[in-house]
Chain A
Amino acid sequence: MMAWHHATAGERRLLPEARLGGPMPWVIAIMLFLTVLAAAAGLGLRQAATHLRSGLADQITIQIVEGDHVERERQATAAMHELDRLAGIGKHRRVDSSELEALLAPWLGDSFTRGEIPIPAMIDVTLAPGGADRIDAIGEALKSVAPAVRISSHAQWLKPIEALIGTLLWLALALVLLMAAATAFTVVLAARAALDTHRETIDVMHLLGATDGQIARLFQRRIATDAMIGGLIGFSGAVVVVLILSQRIESVGSELFGAISLTTAAWIGLLALPLAGTILAMATARLTILGTLERIL
């Protein structure tokens, strides 16, 4: 007995070849194009979320907001000493004045005189594993030696961005599933239309002793071929778009946008989509055709 997806050379001749003649390959191409774009967006955003979490979530910035320069320096030094002994601290370093000036230059200009404007002292801290749970305790401890301390957790301002990325991820997943469903419905319609078109052939084959499986194989093979051709066209188009977008994102130079990238695993996942589309089309076609043939004696 032949495999359910395989047709002999003779069986292949039993249906006229009209590949790319009908709309189905092009509909599948459009579906796959949109599916790959949605999936690429989802995978890229997931990569960005991972990058942001690993790069920023364990960072806190400590500011000493004190107008008096001498007191500010005293509290900063005390805070540095306190950080040396506190649990949950990985690394910490004082942001030097030239870095602060460089940060402020876009707003205050290059020529502002240091000392004219009181600038908070800043300490960058990388938390040790588990340190994120101790931020409140760290804050309490620092306030006891440096009352002007303010702690800003990067994870705190990252939360809304993470929430947005999470929402976009779900949206991308929903789009992929909707496209898969739309592809399946398209195949159902195409399979039914093909059965109607070849009704006479099917009747004759039935009366000559063809089984439902033999007849289904003829149609599912053709639909799978159409789906594969359409899928590859759609995939190719989407890859071109993704590559162009990647270049554009890189040229923006933003850390947030720059984190949106596709890993090798993500590319392999995208490459699997035309194959998955073909399998989905073939399985849908088989089930539709067998269901329809069941109603014929």
Chain B
Amino acid sequence: MGGIVQFENVGLRYGTGAETLSDVSFDLAMGSFTFLTGPSGAGKTSLLRLLYLAQRPSRGLIRLFGEDIVTLPRARMPAYRRRIGVVFQDFRLIPYLSAYDNVALPLRVAGVEERDLDTPVREMLDWVGLTGRSNARPATLSGGEQQRVAIARAVIARPEILVADEPTGNVDPEMAKRLLYLFEALNKLGTTVVVATHDVHLLAGVPAAMQMRLERGRVTNPVESGRYPSSGPHGLAT
């Protein structure tokens, strides 16, 4: 049986330009932790966009949760998206909503009752160190605080896959460590984590994590399910 994420010969082309991603193939096991590395313009963000269902590939096969999402009807996309948490590179917080309401957004989208929202949202804000800033709007938050709100929003619904695009780009080293600890904690709970980063210190923070490198839209060291240990927090789906 394959992993939770399977890419087979995936290509992505925007318009009529050259392929941004070419022949990308990899297989991520459920509960794995993977760093996606590579120089700027290598296609990391494009690959993540395919992963969080913002884009369909131009060719190839993508399976998420065992489902072929290339041919998945549009109406079924939301149910799969709710199983994926995303930390966007530019945060993409909703500017007129408070930190609290931004973090609560995935739960509201999932139809959680208002009376059941408060505890998890406050716990999550506390977890990312923003308890006193729950009513602040994004424009009044620092870059690091906005990033923490974005991370809290990505993980509050306990996603099965967490995708993060340069999640520590705007935070100090201490906060970066805390956020990494947060990702590891989620990973230990069974969440499959994929983090795109330039930060070499971050790579060292999770020694057991796999690394997948992209260069010019191609994977230079394909990750395979078999490379993961068969048990433990970064275990292979069997």
Contacts and interface: CB of A to CB of B under 8 A. Distances in A.
A and B together in one complex: yes
Interface of A: 2, 8-11, 13-14, 16, 200-201, 203-211, 214, 294, 297
Contacts of A203: 92
B54 A297 contact: yes
Given A8-B114, A297-B54, A209 B81 contact: yes
Interface stretch (B11-19, B99-107, B173-181): B99-107
Given A207-B86, A209-B78, A297-B56, 5 more contacts: A2-B111, A9-B114, A13-B97, A208-B81, A297-B54
11 contacts: A10-B101, A10-B114, A206-B81, A207-B52, A207-B54, A208-B105, A209-B80, A211-B78, A297-B54, A297-B56, A297-B77
Contacts of B82: 208-209
B127 interface: no
Interface string B95-129: 01100010011101111001001000000000000
A207 B82 CA distance: 8
B9 interface: no
Interface of B: 52-56, 74-75, 77-82, 86, 92, 94, 96-97, 101, 104-106, 108-111, 114, 117, 153
Contacts of B110: 209
A209 B109 contact: yes
A68 to B, nearest CB: 94
Contacts of B96: 16
A297 B55 contact: yes
A10 B94 contact: no
Query: Which of B74, B81, B109, B111 gathers the greatest number of chain A CB atoms within 10 Å?
Result: B109
A8 B108 contact: yes
B114 A208 contact: no
A214 B109 contact: yes
B123 to A, nearest CB: 17
Contacts of B109: 205, 208-210, 214
Given A206-B81, A207-B86, A209-B78, A10 B108 contact: yes
Contact of A201 (B80, B81, B94, B153): B94
Residue in B54, B75, B108 with the greatest tally of chain A CB atoms within 10 Å? B108
A210 B94 CA distance: 14
B108 to A, nearest CB: 4
Nearest to A16: B96
B139 to A, nearest CB: 13
Contacts of A204: 92, 94, 105
Nearest to B80: A209
Contacts of B101: 10, 13-14
Contacts of A214: 109
Contacts of A209: 78-82, 106, 109-110
Given A201-B94, A208-B81, A209-B81, A297 B74 contact: yes
Contacts of B104: 10
B74 A210 contact: no
A207 B54 CA distance: 7
Nearest to B106: A208
Nearest to A2: B111
Contacts of A297: 53-56, 74, 77
A162 B120 CA distance: 72
- Most chain B CB within a 10 A radius of its CB, from A13, A203, A207: A207
B86 A11 contact: no
Contacts of B94: 14, 200-201, 204
Contacts of A205: 105, 109
Which one of A10, A11, A201, A208 has the greatest number of beta carbons of chain B within 10 Å? Answer: A208
Given A209-B79, A211-B78, A200 B108 contact: no
A214 B109 CA distance: 8
Most chain A CB inside 10 Å of its own CB: which residue of B52, B82, B105 = B105
A201 B106 CA distance: 13
A11 B104 CA distance: 10
A201 B95 CA distance: 9
A8 B113 CA distance: 9
Given A10-B114, A297-B56, A200 B106 contact: no
A27 to B, nearest CB: 24
Contacts of B108: 8, 10-11, 14
Contact of A210 (B52, B53, B78, B92): B78
Contacts of B117: 10
Given A10-B108, A209-B106, A214-B109, A200 B92 contact: yes
B14 to A, nearest CB: 14
Contacts of A294: 74
A199 to B, nearest CB: 12
